Amino acid sequence: MNPRLKLWLAGSLGAVAALVVGYSIANEHLFIGMLLTAVIFWGLMEWISGPWPSAWILAGVLFGYIVGNRGFAQFMVSSDLPVLPAEGALAVILPLLLIRHAHQLTNLVQRDWLNLTLLLWVLLGVCRIPLDAQSYGLMALRDFAMVYYAAFFFIAQALAHHQPSALLLRRTLTASFLVLLVVAAIDKLAPNVLLGLTVRGIPLIYFKGDLLAALLAAGFFWFWTRWESSDRPGWHLPAVASLLLLGTTASPRAALVATGIVTGIWLAARRWRIALLQLAVVVIGLGITGIVVATGYRSLNDTTAFATYESVISVFDLAGTGTYTSQHESGDPGGNNRFRIVWWQAVADETLAEAPVFGLGFGHDLAARFLSDYGLLGAEDFTARSPHSMVMSVFGRMGLVGLVLWLGVTAAMGALTYRRFREGGPDALGLLSIAWVFWVSAAFGIVLEGPMGAVVFWTVLGLASGESSAAPEAAPADLHPGASADEVAASP
């Protein structure tokens, strides 16, 4: 094409686009302008070398859910397009990623047990959602989210093969967990400050207690692996801060259990130093508590250390008969135990009686029998639909077949973790540690059934799986698990 003609056409199209965008903005309709901006940004990112546009979008969503949590989950770019962040990201990334892989003749799915079992689990959900949607409508699609969020696993796994994109996502995790420390501290000391940051009346940052605890626990392990990969003692500070803040959250029990189990994985791999750091954090916490009590600022029962202690011992109080005297905001842990056990039993009995093979379906009210058994019939303020356990949600909605496949995904995660600990790559160990924190937390709470936890979980698991299969060129610090700084410096 003649260069002058090309320039004329480009200028004409730009002028028309500017008029359309200007008119829409003048009438307070931002969608067209934002769409055009996104297209231009996408084209620039494709033109220059570096992370793919898909990685930038995923990085933005990842940062939003870690830092903004429940507040960001309700954010909509425009009132003209009522799409939530996770669903919007999937709608944009998946088609373009499929086009890219079709053009390059590559697959989004790898040939390993983790991909196979997860794909079968997703296909089971996809096969039954049309029937459930006919019976339950939009409520079925809402419950089906726990399945379609797994698409972030395949997206992140594909991006892990592109080193600039994988590096962007890992750096996003680091930045997100660092900013989270600041935001969590502000939320604890002056929560009204964060609630004032609103868009169209919705706060951008608003934390759900159990998810904040899981994020802080995940951040601890990520910061720990940053120290392992760099040998810089400065990473100890945010790691310590993560654990100290974890003890101040309103619902820390599931995250504390997750921290203990993931630490056990590290100890089983003979990585002892992580336990020493945690012991130092406990000593620091006890020291601060001693000063607070000795000065009369607070009574022992009113300290977060005592609340954390009761949260830990309540984990073993399965019957919920213990006496707890903490005046902290975490409530009655014994009552929470009874709440969960009665609900889990109700879901198990109903599923085994009515639909043991393929479950009760998406949209089915898993709380109805529980409300009767627990004496809460008529409680108008009870709106929860999940039995506070991903395992029981999968069993209730997808039956024994779905549960077996979900446990297969878990076993494949375990096998991947075993391989990565033997190889010693710090990035993959950090990613898998985050994934296990969320998996264990989800076994006792609503973590993977909403985007706040699910997007983070599936993204880090996909990155860990992609790193394993891509077998990128190892950095000197990854040569073996115990590589010292001197050995790293001497490596070619």
Predicted pLDDT of residue 337: 81
- Distance, in Å, from the CA atom of 368 to the CA atom of 136, rounded to the nearest integer, reads 15
At 97, give phi and psi (nearest 5°): -70, -40
Q: Flag whether 340 is in a domain.
A: yes
- Distance, in Å, from the CA atom of 242 to the CA atom of 253, rounded to the nearest integer, reads 15
SS3 203: strand
Q: Which two tokens stand for residue 418?
A: 């075993």
- The domain in which residue 124 lies consists of 32-469
Q: Flag whether 3 is in a domain.
A: no
Q: Flag whether 156 is in a domain.
A: yes
Q: Flag whether 241 is in a domain.
A: yes
Structural domain total, the chain: 1
At 203, give phi and psi (nearest 5°): -65, 135
Residues 268 and 481: beta-carbon distance below 8 Å: no
**Helices (runs of H) and strands (runs of E) counted in the chain:** 21, 2
Q: Flag whether 419 is in a domain.
A: yes
pLDDT profile of the chain (492 residues), mean per 10: 60 59 56 58 60 91 93 76 84 86 73 94 96 91 94 94 93 96 90 77 84 95 87 85 88 90 93 89 88 82 78 75 67 75 92 94 88 67 77 96 97 94 85 96 91 95 82 37 38 35
Q: Flag whether 18 is in a domain.
A: no
Residues 54 and 96: beta-carbon distance below 8 Å: yes
The pTM score is 0.84
Q: Flag whether 393 is in a domain.
A: yes
- Distance, in Å, from the CA atom of 368 to the CA atom of 216, rounded to the nearest integer, reads 33
Compute the half-sphere exposure of residue 41: CA atoms within 13 Å on the CB side of its CA. Answer: 13
Residues 217 and 246: beta-carbon distance below 8 Å: yes
Amino acid at 360: L
Say which DSSP state 441 is in.
H
- Distance, in Å, from the CA atom of 421 to the CA atom of 326, rounded to the nearest integer, reads 39
Angstrom distances, CA of residue 128 to CA of 4, 269, 361, 366: 57, 41, 7, 17
Q: Which two tokens stand for residue 4?
A: 């002058």
Taking every pair of Cα atoms in the chain, the longest distance, rounded to a whole number of angstroms, is 84
- Distance, in Å, from the CA atom of 43 to the CA atom of 9, rounded to the nearest integer, reads 18
Q: What is the pLDDT of residues 439-485, one digit of tens each?
A: 999 999 889 998 999 999 999 999 999 886 554 433 333 333 334 43
Q: Flag whether 421 is in a domain.
A: yes
Residues in the chain: 492
Q: Compute and round to an integer the Cα radius of gyration of the chain.
A: 24
